[in-house]
Amino acid sequence: MSTESMAPVSNTDTLDDLDEFRRRAKEFLRAEVGPARASLTAGLRKLGTDEDDLREVAHDRALQRTFFDAGFAGITVPVEFGGQGLTRAHQLVLNEELEGYDYPVRLQVPTMTPCMAVLLEFGTEQQKLTHIPAILRGEELWMQFLSEPSGGSDVAGALMSAVRDGDEWVLNGSKVWTTGAWWSDWGLCLARTNWDVPKHRGLSVFIFPIDAAGIEIQRIEMLNGNMDFCQEYLDDVRVPDSDRVGGVDDGWTVGTRWMFHERMSSNSPFVTRPQELERSSLDGAALRRIARDGGISGTDAAQELVGEGEMLTLVGSALGRRVGQGMRTGTLSDQSAAIARLYGGLSLVRRNTIALELAGSAGAAWSDDDGELALRGEDFLMRQASCIGGGTTEMASNVIAERVLGMPRERALDRDVAFRDVPRGPAPEEN
């Protein structure tokens, strides 16, 4: 399925004129949406207490409902599932006009994409009718149950077991690095349903409420105190077969598109967020403010670092647009999303390093009076997260080499071997 087909259009005769749509968007944002919150660019920083986090989640749900009631939710989602049935161009117009305004950040990734995007492509009609309107109204926050404690980036090596029992499946195992599972509603989960075939052929995808019986959530504290990441333990969790997404043992077909939508999150037609959010998070202007507050903005060394940071953000913006356009027009394969993902991860690592170099000693210790210098040390220590979250940059490099450039595939000892017979650590429990 092409990138363009991710954004269905109901009927071109009913499309809003883009100028009129822009006028309506401006009017809506001015009248009903407040200015951007500081937390919108906080990333993985710890800003408050758990109660503060829950208030932010409630705020996002209410704000999503405001967008929905005004006709600005699900811009490219078909009308029959509660969306507006418009085009990617309309979504881009809304994202451009969002600059400087608040928006429901926690409803975007991974709820709108990859989770809702996967439901739109592979869900049954009933699954779509049940969940997609609820997502667009802000009533359901979704998380992806994908990574596993022993799996690293080898998603196809999932050990989460799903065994059929009549009209139900019984799931056992553990998932990890699930951002925000403790305050979310539904999970999209990849599980192994067949141990007697090679690893890619024995997987299936399920959906279930995160508060279902048998699910225990443990939060993981990171070095900066943030506890949004979670590990989940599933103990005989029963899921009706009607909540299976895609065919039995055909989960890799779903999973491949799932990871595509994840890599495409910054260019997804389902995501509502300011167009230049990534650029403004740590661009040349932000780096100039750090140099200013550190009292070194006039030095040649600082100007070189600021220039390098601005170059990296400009290239990232241009690359994202080029890759997105190439996939929409078919001149680049869908796998080319890995190019932007690889660059984005490496670029943010370097920009956080530049920020620390500009901050100087304030990178090690800072006070509330240090302005833009504060927290640069924490951001530096957390910098590698941009190369891990959402699929590692190493995996993106493999995708680029093998599926974009056509280079020989990496040697794999488990190819064409029944997954039950693949050597691993602790043996899986018998099913």
Q: What pLDDT, on a 0 to 100 scale, did the predictor assign at position 427?
A: 55
Q: What is the pLDDT of residue 124?
A: 98
Q: DSSP assignment, residue 101? A: B
Mean per-residue pLDDT over the chain, rounded: 89
Angle among Cα 65, 68, 69 to the nearest 5 degrees reads 85
- Band of residue 277 on the pLDDT scale cut at 50, 70, 90: low
The position carrying tokens 């906080």 is: 42
CB 206 within 8 A of CB 181: no
Tokens in use for 349?
């690592």
Q: What is the tens place of the pLDDT at every residue in 165-218?
A: 999 999 999 999 898 999 999 999 999 999 999 999 999 999 999 999 999 999
Q: How far apart are CA 224 and CA 384, in angstroms?
A: 13
Say how far apart CA 73 and CA 84 lie, in whole Å.
7
3-state helix, strand, coil in the chain (%, to 5): 50, 15, 35
Q: Cα separation of 288 and 348, whole Å? A: 16
* More confidently predicted of 259 and 142: 142
Per-residue pLDDT at 45: 74
| Structural contact between residues 357 and 306, judged by C-beta atoms closer than 8 angstroms | no
Share of residues in the chain with pLDDT > 90 (%): 65
Is the per-residue pLDDT at 240 higher than 80? yes
Average pLDDT for 245-263: 93
Least confident of 6-20, 53-67, 137-151, 171-185: 6-20
- 124, 263, 419 from 350: Cα distances, Å: 43, 20, 39
Name the least confident of 55-69, 364-378, 395-409: 364-378
Whether residue 209 contacts residue 192, with contact meaning beta carbons closer than 8 Å, is answered with no
Provide the β-strand partners of residue 250: 203
Is 60 exceeded by the pLDDT of residue 7? no
pLDDT for position 406: 93
Which amino acid is located at 238 in the chain? R
At residue 217, the pLDDT reads 97
Q: List the beta strands (DSSP E) in 277-321.
A: none
What is the DSSP pairing of strand 203-209 with strand 229-240? unpaired
Q: CA 208 to CA 225: how far, in whole Å? A: 29
Dist CA 230 CA 218 (whole Å): 6
**pLDDT tens digits for 126-160?**
999 999 999 999 999 999 999 999 876 788 999 99
* Band of pLDDT at residue 276, cut at 50, 70 and 90: low
Residue 224: per-residue pLDDT: 83
pLDDT reading at 8 higher than 50:
no
Q: How confident is the model at residue 16 (pLDDT cuts 50, 70, 90)?
A: low
User: SS3 for 419?
Assistant: helix
- Would you place residue 426 in the very low, low, confident or very high pLDDT band (cuts 50, 70, 90)? low
Q: What is the DSSP string of 225-277?
A: S---EEEEEEEEEEEEGGGEES-TTBHHHHHHHHHHHHHTGGG-TT--S-TTH
Confidence tier at 263 by pLDDT (50, 70, 90): confident
Helix or strand holding residue 172 (H, E): strand 168-179
Q: Please determine, for residue 380, whether its predicted confidence score (pLDDT) is greater than 80.
A: yes
Q: What pLDDT sits at residue 1?
A: 39
